[in-house]
Structures are given as C-alpha cells and as structure tokens.
C-alpha cells in the first residue's frame, strides 16, 4: 500500500492515499517502506518499577515468590530505586510501542517523576 501520514504541530492531520496528498509540501519526509504504522499501545496494569526484579526466583510458585523473594526486596526499596526501575520500565514500553500505562506501586511520586522525565502518559494509583 502506498500511503501517507501527515503530522503538524504534533497532531496527525491526514491519513490516506499518497496521490490525494501530493499537493501538500513537507519539511520532513520519512521513508517507511516495509514498516507498519499503528496506534500507541496502552498497558492497563503495571507495577513498572518491578522491572528491577525480573528473573528473580521465577521457578518458585507465586505464593512463595511473593512472600519469600519479592516482598522482602520491596521492603528495602527506596524512592530512588523505584524511580530508576520506572525509567527502565518506561524505556522498555516506549521500545515496544506503549504510549500510556496504568501503574500502582510504592513511592508513586517517584514513578510520576520518571514518567514526566521520559514523556509517556500514565494513570497512577
């Protein structure tokens, strides 16, 4: 398919066939042959800072994993730890096409700061 997506001032102004759009001049053109344009994804349930715990004791049953591994580690988390974990999680979401997420965790003010610094959208609880 030969199509065009036009963006002006950060907003999509046109999506459609290239031949319909030929009269408009662009300051920047991006060749995207073989690419897919899609809407941003929304992750409705995260504990984004838990990216810090990825791979820890994954062979344990859920109850054991939570009580013996995760909860003791979470009790030691600082606001700075949560901020850095949120930055990592946000970068991973951006890389995968996620533009908005819902999060609930500890030190949510640190998550809010990470989201603000990185430029995603979020709903925090």
- Per residue in 26-76, pLDDT (tens digit) is 777 788 888 888 889 999 999 999 999 999 999 999 999 999 999 999 999
Sequence-ordered list of residues with C-beta below 8 angstroms from that of 51, at least 6 positions apart, any chain: 85, 88, 89, 92
- The answer to whether 39 and 5 have CB atoms below 8 angstroms apart is no
Say whether both 21 and 78 belong to one domain: no
Say whether both 115 and 90 belong to one domain: yes
Say whether both 95 and 67 belong to one domain: yes
3-state secondary structure 66-106: HHHHHHHHHCCCCHHHHHHHHHHHHHHHHHHCEEEEEECCC
End-to-end CA separation in angstroms for the chain: 42
Reported pTM: 0.80
Say whether both 84 and 116 belong to one domain: yes
């Amino acid at each position: 398919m030969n199509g065009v997506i036009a963006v002006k001032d950060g907003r999509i102004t046109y999506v459609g066939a290239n031949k319909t759009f030929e009269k408009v001049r662009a300051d920047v053109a991006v060749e995207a042959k073989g690419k897919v344009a899609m809407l941003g994804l929304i992750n409705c349930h995260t504990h984004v800072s838990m990216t810090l715990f990825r791979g820890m004791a994954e062979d344990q049953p859920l109850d054991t994993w939570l009580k013996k591994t995760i909860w003791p580690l979470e009790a030691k988390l600082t606001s700075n730890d949560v901020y850095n974990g949120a930055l990592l999680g946000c970068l991973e979401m951006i890389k995968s096409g996620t533009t908005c997420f819902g999060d609930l965790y500890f030190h949510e003010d640190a998550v809010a700061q990470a989201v603000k610094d990185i430029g995603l959208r979020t709903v925090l609880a």
